[in-house]
């Protein structure tokens, strides 16, 4: 069966520090991968998605970047965190584009920038 | 105004009781509508996903309905359990120009008390 792992679960980072959140999927090949952010009082916001190794699409301009170095690995990064980067980050995968099919989410990372 | 409106914003019920959550959307047209359950501090888990041609879909004690004419959906929970305490999010897959996009509601926070 397929599983998705996301870590760390919580993270407290000072402003200006770098960030690296990792997501891996097991039990499937060539998944579509997504990074979402969920802010308090707001719906999930799509940040990045990837349909293959090295292929990254960004939905909104921001202080973050994403990379897909391996088929089932998706990384969210920042060189210098801002206070506004605080939030709940979710990784997700789907067999086909997420708009068309079932999506499976990781457990999330609660990031607090102080 | 959010394109996917959910009501009520929060709800408290007693264990064993039934409840119905509402979702109204303004996006048009769309390809599917889905309901997710999100426990506090965790990632969303899919409950149902309905295409345009479906009116009702059940998943155990969860039953979702969809009226494409009035652009309304509901999620009915039967014989509630303490573990049903969570946020329930309605998501519409909508056409946006040549692309498709998931439009997320803000969720209904349900508390089931003993």
pLDDT tens-digit map of A5-32: 999 999 999 999 999 999 999 999 999 9
| Strand runs labelled E in A1-114 | 3-7, 10-13, 19-26, 32-38, 45-52, 55-58, 65-70, 73-78, 87-94, 104-105, 109-113
Q: How confident is the model at residue A104 (pLDDT cuts 50, 70, 90)?
A: very high
Q: Coil, strand or helix: which one is B59?
A: strand
CA distance B20 to B35: 13
Q: Which residues of A touch B107 (CB under 8 A)?
A: 43
Q: Coil, strand or helix: which one is A23?
A: strand
Find out whether A91 and A6 touch, Cβ atoms under 8 Å. yes
Between chains, do B42 and A99 touch, taking CB under 8 Å as contact? no
**pLDDT score of A42:** 83
User: Considering CB atoms only, which of B4, B89, B102 is closest to A99?
Assistant: B102
Cα dihedral A44, B72, B45, B81 sign = positive
Between chains, do A107 and B31 touch, taking CB under 8 Å as contact? no
A92 touches chain B (CB under 8 A): yes
Q: How many Å lie between the alpha carbon of B95 and the closest alpha carbon of chain A?
A: 9
**pLDDT score of A62:** 78
Question: Which residues of chain B fall short of a pLDDT of 50?
Answer: none
B86 touches chain A (CB under 8 A): no
Between chains, do B100 and A99 touch, taking CB under 8 Å as contact? yes
Find out whether A113 and A13 touch, Cβ atoms under 8 Å. yes
CB atoms within 10 A of CB B17: 12
CA distance B38 to A26: 22
CA distance A111 to A8: 9
B29: DSSP letter: S
A6 touches chain B (CB under 8 A): yes
First and final C-alpha spacing in chain A = 38
């Amino acid at each position: 069966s397929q599983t998705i792992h996301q870590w760390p679960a919580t993270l407290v980072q000072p402003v200006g520090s770098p960030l690296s959140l990792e997501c891996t999927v097991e039990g499937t090949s060539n998944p579509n991968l997504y990074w979402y952010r969920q802010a308090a009082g707001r719906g999930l916001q799509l940040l990045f998605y990837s349909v293959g190794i090295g292929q990254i699409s960004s939905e909104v301009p921001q202080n973050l970047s994403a990379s897909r170095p391996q088929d089932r690995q998706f990384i969210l990064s920042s060189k210098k965190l801002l206070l506004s980067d605080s939030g709940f980050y979710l990784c997700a995968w789907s067999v086909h584009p997420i708009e068309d099919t079932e999506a499976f989410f990781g457990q999330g990372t609660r990031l607090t920038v102080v | 105004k959010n394109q996917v409106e959910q009501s009520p914003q929060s709800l408290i019920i007693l264990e064993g009781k039934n409840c119905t959550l509402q979702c109204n959307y303004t996006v048009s047209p769309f390809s599917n509508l889905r309901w997710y359950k999100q426990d506090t501090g965790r990632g969303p888990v899919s409950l149902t996903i309905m295409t345009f041609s479906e009116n009702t879909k059940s998943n155990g004690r969860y039953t979702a309905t969809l009226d494409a004419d009035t652009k309304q959906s509901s999620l009915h929970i039967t014989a509630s359990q303490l573990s049903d305490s969570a946020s329930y999010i309605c998501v519409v897959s909508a056409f946006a120009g040549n692309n498709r996009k998931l439009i997320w509601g803000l969720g209904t926070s349900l508390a089931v008390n003993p």
